[in-house]
Amino acid sequence: MSVGFVLWLFAIAFGCSALGGMLGMASGIFIVPLLTLFGHLDIYTAVGASLVSVIACSCGSAGPFLTRGLTNVRLAIVLETATTSGALTGVLLVGIIPTKWLYFLFAAILLVSAQQMWTPRRAVAVLLGAADEKSWGDRLALNSSYPDTTLGETVDYRVHRVPMGMLLMYAAGLISALLGIGSGVLKIPAMDTALRLPLKVSTATSNFMIGVTAAASAGAYFMRGNIVPGIAGPVALGSVLGSLLGARILLAISSEKIRLFFVVVLLLLAVAMTLTAFDVHLFGAAK
C-alpha cells in the first residue's frame, strides 16, 4: 500500500465527513462508493472500512447529545435489540448474496437518500395523548422529555408504535451490515413516522444506536479479516476529524446549494454503482 493511497483515503474520508457535518448528515453513504469506484477496492474491504468510520463518528459525536439530554437511552437499548439482530442477519447473508446485488442494493439506497435529501424532514407534531398501559412506550417507560433550546422549556414526548419501529430498525441493521452505512435512510422514517419522536431526539438517539449496530457487524468483518488496518485506519481518523471540522464551519454558501450538490452527487453515484453491478467500470476496473 503506497503512502499516496493512504493519504488519499484520509483525504476522501475527511472531505466527505466535513461536508456531511455542515448539513448534519452522516457521510457513511459516500465512503463505500468512493472506495470501490475510485479506490478500486473490493466491496467487502470498503464496507469493513466504512463500518469502522461509522462507529467512529457515532462515538465521537455522541457526547454532546447525551449531556444535553437529547438521547433517549432507554429507547435506544430497546431498539438496539432489533438493529443488532438485523446486523447479525446481514453478517450471515454477506457471503451468500452475490456482489452484483450488493451494488444494486447500494444504488437503490443512494436513490432513496437523494429523494430524502430533496424533501427535507418535517418536524412531526409531538402528540402527547393519554397514557395507554398496553403500549410498549408506557410499559417500558420509554416516554421522556428533552430541553428545547428554541422554546426555552422542557418538552415531554411519548414514544409511539414501538413494534413498527422495531421492524424498520431490523431492516436498518440488515442494510447497515451489508453496505457499511449507518442506515439513516431507514432510521429516519422509523423514528419520524413510526415512533413519532421530536426531530432532535430522533437525530440524537439514531446517532447513538448506529455505533452499537455497526459494532455488531464490524466485529464479524474484523474477525473475518475484511478490515484492513491500512485502509480502515485512515478512513476512520479522517471521518472523525472531518466531522469535528464540519460541525464547526459556518456556512459561507447556503445550505440549499450544498443540499442540491449532495442530491446530484448521490444520483451520479447511484448511476455509477448500477453500472458497476453490470460490470461497466467508468473509472477503471477493480483489482
Partner 1 sequence: MKTKEPVISHLESRLAALLHVGTWLACGLIALGLPLFFILDRKDQHPQFSLAHLADPLMKAGIAVFILLPVLRVIVMLVLFRRQKDYRFAAIAALVLAIILVSVLVGVISSRTAG
Q: In terms of CB distance, is 241 or 245 closer to partner 1?
A: 241
Residue labelled with grid coordinates 446530484: 264
- CB of 222 vs partner 1, minimal distance in Å: 6
Site residues (CB under 8 A) for partner 1, limited to 54-83: 55-56, 58-60, 62-64, 66-67, 69, 71, 73-74, 77-78, 80-81
167 binds partner 1 (CB under 8 A): no
Q: How many CA atoms lie within 13 A of 1 on its CB side?
A: 15
Backbone angles phi, psi at 153, to 5 degrees: -145, 170
- CB of 136 vs partner 1, minimal distance in Å: 12
Nearest one of 277, 218, 242 to 97, comparing CA atoms: 277
179 binds partner 1 (CB under 8 A): no
**DSSP assignments along 171-207, one per residue:** HHHHHHHHH-S--HHHHHHIIIIIS---HHHHHHHHH
- CB of 48 vs partner 1, minimal distance in Å: 9
- Dihedral sign from CA coordinates of 172, 205, 21, 60: negative
- CB of 20 vs partner 1, minimal distance in Å: 17
2 binds partner 1 (CB under 8 A): yes
- CB of 105 vs partner 1, minimal distance in Å: 20
99 binds partner 1 (CB under 8 A): no
92 binds partner 1 (CB under 8 A): yes
Contact status, residue 35 vs residue 187, Cβ threshold 8 Å: no
Contact status, residue 55 vs residue 218, Cβ threshold 8 Å: yes
Q: Which of 42, 85, 258, 259 binds partner 1 (CB under 8 A)?
A: 85
Q: Where are the alpha helices (DSSP H) in the chain?
A: 3-23, 28-37, 43-67, 73-93, 99-118, 136-139, 162-179, 184-189, 199-224, 229-248, 255-277
Site size toward partner 1, by CB under 8 A? 61
Which positions lie near partner 1, rule CB under 8 A?
1-3, 6, 10, 52, 55-56, 58-60, 62-64, 66-67, 69, 71, 73-74, 77-78, 80-81, 84-85, 87-88, 91-92, 95, 131, 140-141, 143, 145, 156, 211-212, 214-225, 227, 229-230, 232-234, 236-237, 240-241
